[in-house]
Amino acid sequence: MPVCFVVIGGGPAGVQAASTAARLGAQVTLVERDVVGGAANLWDCVPSKAMIATGSLVALARRATVRGLESLSPEVDLELLGARVREIEHKLATSMTEQLLSQGVEILAGTGRLVGPHRVEVSADDGDLRALDADAVLIATGSYPRVPDWAPVDGKRVLTTRQAYPPPEIPDRLVVVGSGVTGVEFVHMFRSLGSKVTLLVSRQQVLPQKDPEVAAALETDFLESGVVLCKGARAMAVEHTDSGRLVVRCEDGRVVDGSHMLLAVGSVPASGGFGLEHAGVEVNHAGHVAVNQHCQSNVAHIYAAGDVSGRLPLASVAAVQGRKAAEHVMGLHSRQHRHLDYDKAASAIFTEPEIADVGLAEAEAFALGRKIRVTKVPLATNARALIDGDARGFVKIVSDPSTGIVLGGSVVGDRAAELVSVIALAVTANLRVLDLAESLFVHPALSEALAEAAE
Ligand SMILES: Cc1cc2nc3c(=O)[nH]c(=O)nc-3n(C[C@H](O)[C@H](O)[C@H](O)COP(=O)(O)OP(=O)(O)OC[C@H]3O[C@@H](n4cnc5c(N)ncnc54)[C@H](O)[C@@H]3O)c2cc1C
């Protein structure tokens, strides 16, 4: 008898788990209440990057003179933009669905709920109720945006990130609350689309978790493009004025005025309301389903992957967790099998300049008292960056001074999210700086900066 594997949630974690388990011979049912592809496709990664791509094009057109053209001022058509975002989502959801079906995965449209350790009940969208028996279950239910008590979200002028694809209108003056990855991406998106933006930064640095040098490069760019940074400003209330404006009040008494406000203050794991308690699955104080290296919860045959597991909240990580969980269900971990190393996950911030990093950061190494070698090359001397008219940023590589092994790196600049893959591969495969320095990269290309930084 094949292993019966039920996956609740069809985001990157659920889709990858279902696909892997089916390929390995399991009988798989994927339960999804919205669309296959999950929040990643519908609300988070894909729509935000599609809007950012349009914003970046607008910004590029305005800077056309740097490439010897007259500067242009394209008008943004919100209806067309919205249609494009939905078309991309639809294409991705369709191709994922087709692939899963071709692998023999059963997809049930509805809400899944655990009613016992080995039983999942599905309330289908058409009202039907179906019970599924499972040898193993994966919880891949994701997360949703956190809304603080003081914020009266109305989807019109006080928005969560899910209400911004696109918003009803381009905000005249947007106040963004939250300066983590999501907050700064939305600052970049809306300033490129023409909004005047104020960013409330609760600490003294945007991107508080990032290398200070990387964060400083972004702050400089924000300031140069007219973004107002309010540092040490923690929002605590928002009021609508008679003149139709919003007034955001901060804990230290500062008051910021805007036409719209966007919240980017983190997310809440989707772990409630679907019967985890009936299966004895524990959640931690933050509501995450705590998991071990195989993505098992405290109940051995119930796994969790993706945002609900409280590890790195990235679609890329969710997908690999899903694959690892499926491989464990199918007994593959006993063969040659590499554990997921969260410290080696590359991540990117789709601002301008783009920011990406992987592995050990310089500041982190100093905090740990670890000896490192840091080499840095500015893109200002890179031929391709100059040809493209955007030579902002740098490549930084962190290595072990005694072995030369690459431990990490950051890229700030055009296409950083692509360039960092080479450093990520070096970190995962324990390559040495010499391996990068002696690689024959293309000329003229941004990747030459990687080889140079490795010299
Ligand atoms: C604005 C924004 C931008 C982001 N951009 C990026 C990016 O560029 N790159 C990146 O790597 N990460 C990005 N992320 C993070 C990324 O979106 C998440 O880490 C990723 O979506 C997590 O995937 P997941 O599989 O855990 O769940 P999700 O993608 O959240 O999917 C969970 C699915 O489970 C379904 N579900 C929930 N409960 C049930 C139930 N009981 N029954 C049936 N179905 C259920 C939901 O409908 C949903 O479809 C971004 C996040 C945000 C907020």
Residue 398 identity (one-letter amino acid): V
Of the CA atoms within 13 Å of residue 58, those in its CB half-sphere come to 20
* Whether residue 34 has its Cβ less than 6 Å from ligand 1: yes
Q: Rounded to whole angstroms, how far apart are CA atoms 317 and 340?
A: 9
Instruction: Output the pLDDT for position 31.
Output: 98
Q: Give me ligand 1 centre to Cα 351, in Å.
A: 20
* Whether residue 161 has its Cβ less than 6 Å from ligand 1: yes
* Whether residue 353 has its Cβ less than 6 Å from ligand 1: no
* Whether residue 314 has its Cβ less than 6 Å from ligand 1: yes
First to last CA, the chain: 56
* Whether residue 189 has its Cβ less than 6 Å from ligand 1: no
Q: Give me ligand 1 centre to Cα 12, in Å.
A: 7
Ligand 1 atom with least separation from CA of 12 = 25
The pTM for the full model equals 0.95
- Helices vs strands, H then E, count in the chain: 12, 22
Residue 113 identity (one-letter amino acid): R
* Whether residue 38 has its Cβ less than 6 Å from ligand 1: yes
Residues contacting residue 9 through CB under 8 Å, at least 6 positions apart: 31, 32, 38, 112, 138, 139, 140, 141, 142, 270, 306, 308
Q: Give me ligand 1 centre to Cα 266, in Å.
A: 13
Instruction: Output the pLDDT for position 332.
Output: 86
Give, for ligand 1, the residue of 41, 137, 268, 314 to mutate: max count of ligand atoms closer than 8 Å to Cβ.
314
Contact 312, 288 (CB under 8 A): no
Q: Rounded to whole angstroms, how far apart are CA atoms 350 and 340?
A: 25
Q: Rounded to whole angstroms, how far apart are CA atoms 85 and 66?
A: 29
* Whether residue 413 has its Cβ less than 6 Å from ligand 1: no
* Whether residue 270 has its Cβ less than 6 Å from ligand 1: yes
Residues contacting residue 2 through CB under 8 Å, at least 6 positions apart: 25, 26, 27
Residue 254 burial by Cβ neighbours in a 10 Å radius (0-12, 13-18, 19+): middle
Pick from 243, 249, 275, 276: nearest CA to 261: 249
Instruction: Give the single-character DSSP code of 243.
Output: T
Q: Rounded to whole angstroms, how far apart are CA atoms 222 and 274?
A: 42
Ranges assigned E (strand) in 81-182: 106-116, 119-124, 129-133, 136-139, 143-145, 158-160, 173-177
Of the CA atoms within 13 Å of residue 125, those in its CB half-sphere come to 9
In this structure, the residue with its CA closest to atom 35 of ligand 1 is 9
In this structure, the residue with its CA closest to atom 52 of ligand 1 is 44
Instruction: Give the single-character DSSP code of 344.
Output: G
> For the chain, what's the residue count?
455
Ligand 1 atom with least separation from CA of 10 = 33
Ranges assigned E (strand) in 331-417: 347-349, 355-359, 373-378, 394-399, 406-412
Q: Rounded to whole angstroms, how far apart are CA atoms 321 and 141?
A: 13
Q: Give me ligand 1 centre to Cα 74, in Å.
A: 32
Domains and their CATH numbers in the chain: 4-145+269-334 (3.50.50.60), 158-265 (3.50.50.60), 353-454 (3.30.390.30)
* Whether residue 306 has its Cβ less than 6 Å from ligand 1: yes
Reduce the DSSP state of residue 277 to 3 states and report it.
Answer: helix
Give, for ligand 1, the residue of 7, 41, 45, 185 to mutate: max count of ligand atoms closer than 8 Å to Cβ.
45
Q: Give me ligand 1 centre to Cα 412, in Å.
A: 26
Residues contacting residue 436 through CB under 8 Å, at least 6 positions apart: 397, 406, 422, 423, 426, 450, 451, 453, 454
Residues contacting residue 105 through CB under 8 Å, at least 6 positions apart: 18, 19, 22, 28, 29, 30
How large is the greatest C-alpha to C-alpha distance in the chain, in angstroms? 68
Give, for ligand 1, the residue of 32, 141, 351 to mutate: max count of ligand atoms closer than 8 Å to Cβ.
141
Q: Rounded to whole angstroms, how far apart are CA atoms 357 and 348?
A: 7
Q: Give me ligand 1 centre to Cα 233, in Å.
A: 29
Residues contacting residue 427 through CB under 8 Å, at least 6 positions apart: 344, 358, 359, 406, 407, 408, 409
In this structure, the residue with its CA closest to atom 53 of ligand 1 is 44
Instruction: Output the pLDDT for position 336.
Output: 60
Instruction: Output the pLDDT for position 69.
Output: 87
Q: Give me ligand 1 centre to Cα 406, in Å.
A: 31
* Whether residue 39 has its Cβ less than 6 Å from ligand 1: yes
Per-residue pLDDT 10s for the chain (455 aa) are: 899 999 999 999 999 999 999 999 999 999 999 999 999 999 999 999 999 999 999 988 988 888 888 878 889 999 999 999 999 999 999 999 999 999 999 999 999 999 999 999 999 988 899 999 999 999 999 999 999 999 999 999 999 999 998 888 899 999 999 999 999 999 999 999 999 999 999 999 999 888 888 899 999 999 999 999 999 999 999 999 988 899 999 999 999 999 999 999 999 999 999 999 999 999 999 999 999 999 999 999 999 999 999 999 999 999 999 999 999 999 987 666 677 899 999 999 999 999 999 999 998 898 899 999 999 999 999 999 999 999 999 999 999 999 999 999 999 999 999 999 999 999 999 999 999 999 999 999 999 999 999 98
Q: Give me ligand 1 centre to Cα 314, in Å.
A: 8
Tell me the H-state helices in 258-337: 315-329
Contact 427, 359 (CB under 8 A): yes
Tell me the H-state helices in 362-432: 362-368, 383-387, 416-428
Residues contacting residue 355 through CB under 8 Å, at least 6 positions apart: 207, 210, 214, 217, 218, 348, 349, 410, 411, 412, 416
Q: Rounded to whole angstroms, how far apart are CA atoms 394 and 52?
A: 21
Ligand 1 atom with least separation from CA of 306 = 26
Sheet holding 246-250, edge to edge: 235-240, 246-250, 255-258
* Whether residue 142 has its Cβ less than 6 Å from ligand 1: yes
